[in-house]
Amino acid sequence: MAARNHASNEALRALHKEARWTNHNFSAAVNRVAAEAGVVLSYDRTTVSHWLSGSRPRTPVPAFVAEAFSRRLGRPVSEVETGMASPQADRAVLPPEGVGVRDLGGLVLADLDPTRRVLLREQPFRLDWAVAPEWPASPDLPRVALGPAERGILAGVGAMTSAFITADRSFGGGHARFALTAYLASDVAVWLRAHRMERSGGALLSAAAKLVHLTGFMCFDDLHHHLAQRYFRMALELTAQAGDPLGHAAVLRSMSAQASFLGHHRQAAAMVEAALTRAGRHAPPDTLAELLGQAAVAHAALANRDDALTRLTQAEKHLDSTDGTRQFDEPTARANLTHHTGQVLALLGNRAAAQSAWRASLRHRPTDQRRSRMITTHHLAESHLRRDRVEQACTTWQGFLDEYPYIHSARMDSAYRSFLRQLRLHRNNTSARHILDQAGSVP
């Protein structure tokens, strides 16, 4: 705790009174916001008393306090309004919160700087950013025949995108993300500034947005939630400028998945429903099935049983009704849908059926999609464990453990630690001891 300011913090007292919080509830809310950012705090009511008396915590705690009040009061509350504002020097190093083409360069350069990156990572997940922006009027970008320069740039961006997607799926968001960020800074951001958008009919914006979206997803997979939000919002703006509703819908789906992961289920449902509106009925069947599957999970988390099951049925129909003329990656689409089905059934209390769906997902899942296989395997093993089927849980989770040394993902690290904590309650079981001994040898 920083040195106390002996003057009472009247601004904080006013917010505290408006929020109608006890000191205990206030400290718990700040601890929850911090936990989403990967910062472990253990503040209590005594800490709040010190704050109200004028004590000022170090960065990034004032940002957590402001976010906690923002959520409680339903309106944006800044650090300055809390009376706990960080020193101006600390705030100045964060990039502006803009989402235009020119802001992309500032964001990626801040992400590449070790000091500024730490500050970005420690900022809170912004609930007011977990929303779908209004879809603007279609931009006046004419369809054009691309020149040699634009074709060359797009081919290069496409090749790099495919490579980074493959790396992300196989090795996790913590693998090669800085290489992707450097590519955005040194090549993509420069091209966006140098080339007039009308010369590519929005194609370059869409291609850049896909890479920015991927960067955001990799940040989410590595549990850097504020940074992920910044990239997601940037991708939303780029897809809007490009007139790319399918790209816009894809970003909203990722944002919904992030919100679901953090337990913000109402925001998750609203964003994915907006994504379905953006995509429209004529989107590819795998795209619609993926969006509908995510919508089903969000509704199930809110105990909206009928909505969840309706969305699942719609997703299945889209995959089953294709006439073969519209090409898509069917194994991946089936694996994604059955994984979502398992999540929905588990949330609705039908764990036996959920396990069957997750096993089907693993059968469909391509072997090179390591992280997705690990997520499904973890859910399946955890479900067995919750039903006291320890041997089945250990047999299933062996697949997770075998793949774990290859993955660089904070999400998978969290799943790994969570399962081991639960398994230690069964350490007298031979299968459990075997897994725990194996895990002890994993670096």
pLDDT digits (tens, 9 = 90+) for 263-317: 999 999 999 999 999 998 888 999 999 999 999 999 999 999 999 999 999 999 9
- pLDDT digit string, tens, across residues 351-377: 999 999 999 999 999 999 999 999 999
Is 2 contained in some domain? no
Mapping DSSP to helix (H, G, I), strand (E, B) and coil, where does residue 348 land? coil
**Are 162 and 228 within one domain?**
yes
Query: Is 50 exceeded by the pLDDT of residue 3?
Result: no
Q: Is 10 exposed, middle or buried (0-12, 13-18, 19+ CB in 10 A)?
A: exposed
User: Which pLDDT value is given to residue 428?
Assistant: 93
Is 38 contained in some domain? yes
**Are 104 and 224 within one domain?**
yes
User: Which pLDDT value is given to residue 1?
Assistant: 45
Residue of higher predicted confidence among 272 and 443: 272
User: Which pLDDT value is given to residue 404?
Assistant: 96
User: Which pLDDT value is given to residue 136?
Assistant: 80
Q: Report yes or no: 383 and 346 within 8 Å, Cβ to Cβ.
A: yes
Residue 2 pLDDT grade (very low, low, confident, very high; cuts 50, 70, 90): very low
Is 272 contained in some domain? no
Residue 89 pLDDT grade (very low, low, confident, very high; cuts 50, 70, 90): very low
**Are 334 and 411 within one domain?**
no
User: Which pLDDT value is given to residue 141?
Assistant: 62
For tokens 């450097």, name the residue: 182
**Are 194 and 226 within one domain?**
yes
User: Which pLDDT value is given to residue 433?
Assistant: 94
**Are 430 and 353 within one domain?**
no
Is 176 contained in some domain? yes
**Are 296 and 203 within one domain?**
no
Q: How many whole angstroms separate alpha carbon 232 and alpha carbon 360?
A: 31
Q: Is 0.85 topped by the overall pTM?
A: yes
Q: Which of 49, 80, 111 is the last residue of a domain?
A: 80
For the chain, state the CA radius of gyration: 23
Residue 325 pLDDT grade (very low, low, confident, very high; cuts 50, 70, 90): low
Domain of 27 in residue numbering reads as: 10-80
Q: Which of 236, 265, 294 is the last residue of a domain?
A: 265
Percentage of the chain modeled with pLDDT above 70: 92
**Are 195 and 113 within one domain?**
yes
Is 276 contained in some domain? no
Is 339 contained in some domain? yes
**Are 159 and 304 within one domain?**
no
Averaged pLDDT, 39-51: 95
For the chain, what is the domain count? Answer: 4
Q: How many whole angstroms separate alpha carbon 419 and alpha carbon 377?
A: 11
Is 375 contained in some domain? no
Polymer length in residues for the chain? 443
Q: Which of 265, 297, 330 is the last residue of a domain?
A: 265
- pLDDT digit string, tens, across residues 394-438: 999 999 999 999 999 999 999 999 999 999 999 999 999 999 999
Q: How many whole angstroms separate alpha carbon 380 and alpha carbon 368?
A: 19
Is 76 contained in some domain? yes
**Are 239 and 319 within one domain?**
no
- pLDDT digit string, tens, across residues 20-39: 999 999 999 999 999 999 99
Q: How crowded is residue 423: how many other Cβ atoms within 10 Å of its Cβ? A: 23
**Are 343 and 224 within one domain?**
no
**Are 213 and 239 within one domain?**
yes
Q: Report yes or no: 169 and 371 within 8 Å, Cβ to Cβ.
A: yes
- pLDDT digit string, tens, across residues 139-186: 666 666 677 878 888 999 999 999 999 999 999 999 999 999 999 999
- Pick from 162, 152, 215: which is nearest to 184 by CA? 215
**DSSP string covering 276-324:** HHHH-TTS-HHHHHHHHHHHHHHHHHTT-HHHHHHHHHHHHHHHHS--S
Averaged confidence pLDDT in the chain: 91
Q: Left, alpha or beta for 317 (phi > 0: left; psi -120 to 50: alpha)?
A: alpha
User: Which pLDDT value is given to residue 249?
Assistant: 97
Going by the DSSP 8-state scheme, the letter that residue 262 receives in this structure is T
**Are 182 and 44 within one domain?**
no
Query: Is 90 exceeded by the pLDDT of residue 138?
Result: no
Query: Is 80 exceeded by the pLDDT of residue 443?
Result: no
Q: Report yes or no: 337 and 319 within 8 Å, Cβ to Cβ.
A: yes
**CA torsion through residues 95, 98, 100, 102, sign:** negative
